Amino acid sequence: MPAPLPKPEHPHRVVIEHVRPKVDDGRHPVKRTPGEPVHVSADIFADGHDLIRADLRVREVDATGAPVGEWAATPMALETNDLWHGRFTASHVGWFEYTVDAWIDRFGSWRRDLQKKAEAGQDVASDLLEGAGLVRAAAARITEGDRTRAPRRGKRAVPAIGPQAEQAWMIAQADLLEEPSDQLTRVSAALDPDLAAAMDRHAARAAVTTADPVLRVMVEPERARFGAWYEMFPRSAGPDPTRGATWDEAAARLPAIAEMGFDVLYLPPIHPIGRTHRKGPNNSLRAGPNDVGSPWAIGGPEGGHDAIEPGLGTLEDFERFVGTARDLGIDIALDLAFQCSPDHPYVKTHPEWFRHRPDGTIKYAENPPKKYQDIYPFDFEGAEFQGLWDELKRVITFWVRRGVTIFRVDNPHTKPFFFWEWALAEVRREHPGVVFLSEAFTRPKVMRHLAKIGFSQSYTYFTWRNAKAELVEYFTELTQTDVREYMRPNLFANTPDILHEYLQKGGRPAFEIRLVLAATLGATYGIYSGFELCENRAVPGTEEYLDSEKYQLRQWDFNRPGNITPLVTRVNRIRRENPALHGDWSLQFHETDNPCIIAYSKRTPDLDNIILTVVNVDPVSTQQGWVRVPAIDWTLDLDGYVVEDLLSGERYHWRNEWNFVRLDPAHHRAAHVLRVATPAGAHARAREEDELARIAQELDRLTT
């Protein structure tokens, strides 16, 4: 037989179920950035017919969960069918926790029943005495420390009063309810909204039900939610094709990257590169004396993960590079690849951090039948794992202290999950503003788990989703299911490892299409250098770039004919100027009558800014058809409204819901990015113009 249930300390009657948002029953936090609301809902009910009150409680905590501030409570509202809702907004980076309290509203229930009886003409003398007792009990709970508001005497506002004055007022109300005077007067006093407000402030909550467990939200910098990434090999950014560039030479490329509108510059590993089993061009097993090797074969006589490849320069040179980027509005993201070349100092100083064969040699990386003799994986489970974990955490903070606040983590799914959960939490305990991108092209559940345990952003399957139906299905999952509470997609259109067949065969239109899709479907997206040049040469039969920068220097002519740099620049400007594109949750797909035309929108909550994107996903042929606009939901005038193509500057006058589009990729018209002129947007722009005019007048007055 099961053990008998113990009697509760208080006879709790309220039940709280299905508190949302919640990730794995509270095991992991939900994620937000400053200013993003957390909409909390819960199923709350009780036996009988008494009224229920519920509060959403929130407080700030540190990375360990220790309270930093006091609980703040805001009332929740009943929506329908026992579903309650509340919201709060975290104003700054850090950790917060939230829960739901609910209790029987005895005074509210009494007040409701009293009103019904009085309206039915029943004798309520006994009820009024019961109410007086409730008011006296509440008045007795007032303490000197209470912060109270004054009762509103009719429509006349009165100054705030202290606890003693409010207590005296409530006792006077209780006396009035008990007086053997006119019942109508006493009922009116009982139903006074000011009395209800005072009773709410001092309600008895001895039998409060609190949702379990307490839930957490991790608030990260805005860059975790919104940004445009550009990936560059700094060693290829110099004027001399016969040698790698220095940091100062690579810095000359920064203004052009900023001009294109990128917020983040992602650098592959910048550390010394091993020579043992160094790879040659196109991943060949033989490297010549002048071959530069793969940056992911980390470590040599010059140092390891906290050192700079000598050809690039010194640590001081790197810090200057970071400072120059920051002055241009660009954050530096550094690749974090926890693996070693056979020449890494760790191999000699800490051989216990690696796995060994029976003959005593260290095991190199393998993905049978492939062998990677130039890479030694760490043994995260060895007897000395604690020292290894501490050292790798030190490596992260080493670069944070040198201005790096974003890390793209290489293959995190090949290292223990518990290591990442520990390491990321430890780093954030000292540096809460650090952002981590998970580069894990692996199984969906593994990708989602990495997001749950602390990664700010995640690579996705976007590269392999090219048809309309698969794009709709995948992005509905990412933005309209519970996945969105913890997994933020970063849509890279290409990477040094991935040149999809769509780009190989689709020519320049394919690059234009994928750029628009990545930049408007996702609040965060990225391209790897060469994308803007429509570079599409691949090793035959693979997704690998021919003459890949992973293994050799490449000197790019960024002005070569056929580049789409102006389009990249325009798209990034559109993203910055339109708040609707700064998040993912408002993404909504719309009907079209052509399977090659995809249409979707993003909007601000007040409909002040609506962006409707229409894309022909066929890079070869002109496609045309009809697009359905939710005109009524967007408060549009069905007799006519204006949409402006932010790519071309053209304006179209549309009517009703269904409107015609024709998209010709051969003439650089593969997509529309349309700003919909809504009444709310027109009013907002008018207010903005009025304010600018007022400022101009004031400046003119001051100067004259």
Q: Which residues are catalytic?
A: 410, 439
Contact 257, 232 (CB under 8 A): yes
Strands (E), 278-418: 331-336, 339-340, 365-367, 370-372, 376-377, 406-410
Distance CA 92, CA 217 (A): 12
Contact 438, 361 (CB under 8 A): no
- Single out the residue of 261, 283, 416, 241 nearest to residue 328, CA to CA: 261
Half-sphere exposure of residue 626: CA atoms within 13 angstroms, side-chain side: 7
Angle at 501 (CA atoms; ends 499, 507), nearest 5 degrees: 90
Sign of the Cα pseudo-torsion (277, 283, 286, 290, in order): negative
Spatial strand order of the sheet with 77-80 comes to 14-20, 37-46, 83-89, 77-80
* Residue 598 neighbours by CB under 8 Å, 6+ apart: 468, 471, 472, 589, 592, 614, 615, 617
Report the chain's C-alpha Rg in angstroms.
Answer: 32
- Single out the residue of 269, 251, 235, 322 nearest to residue 556, CA to CA: 235
Distance CA 568, CA 527 (A): 10
Distance CA 626, CA 592 (A): 6
Distance CA 682, CA 675 (A): 12
Strands (E), 386-522: 406-410, 435-439, 457-458, 491-492
Q: Are strands 671-676 and 641-645 parallel, antiparallel or unpaired?
A: antiparallel
Distances (CA, A) of 563 to 553, 566, 621, 683: 20, 8, 21, 39
Amino acid letter, residue 224: A
Q: Which tokens is 84 given?
A: 């309650």
User: What would you measure as the largest C-alpha separation in the chain, in angstroms?
Assistant: 107
DSSP, collapsed to helix, strand or coil, labels residue 369 as: coil
Distances (CA, A) of 662 to 400, 472, 616, 668, 672: 49, 21, 9, 12, 10
Contact 631, 591 (CB under 8 A): no
Sign of the Cα pseudo-torsion (277, 282, 286, 288, in order): negative
Distance CA 266, CA 407 (A): 8
Distance CA 597, CA 624 (A): 8
Per the omega criterion (within 30 degrees of 0), is the bond before 566 cis?
A: no
Contact 603, 660 (CB under 8 A): no
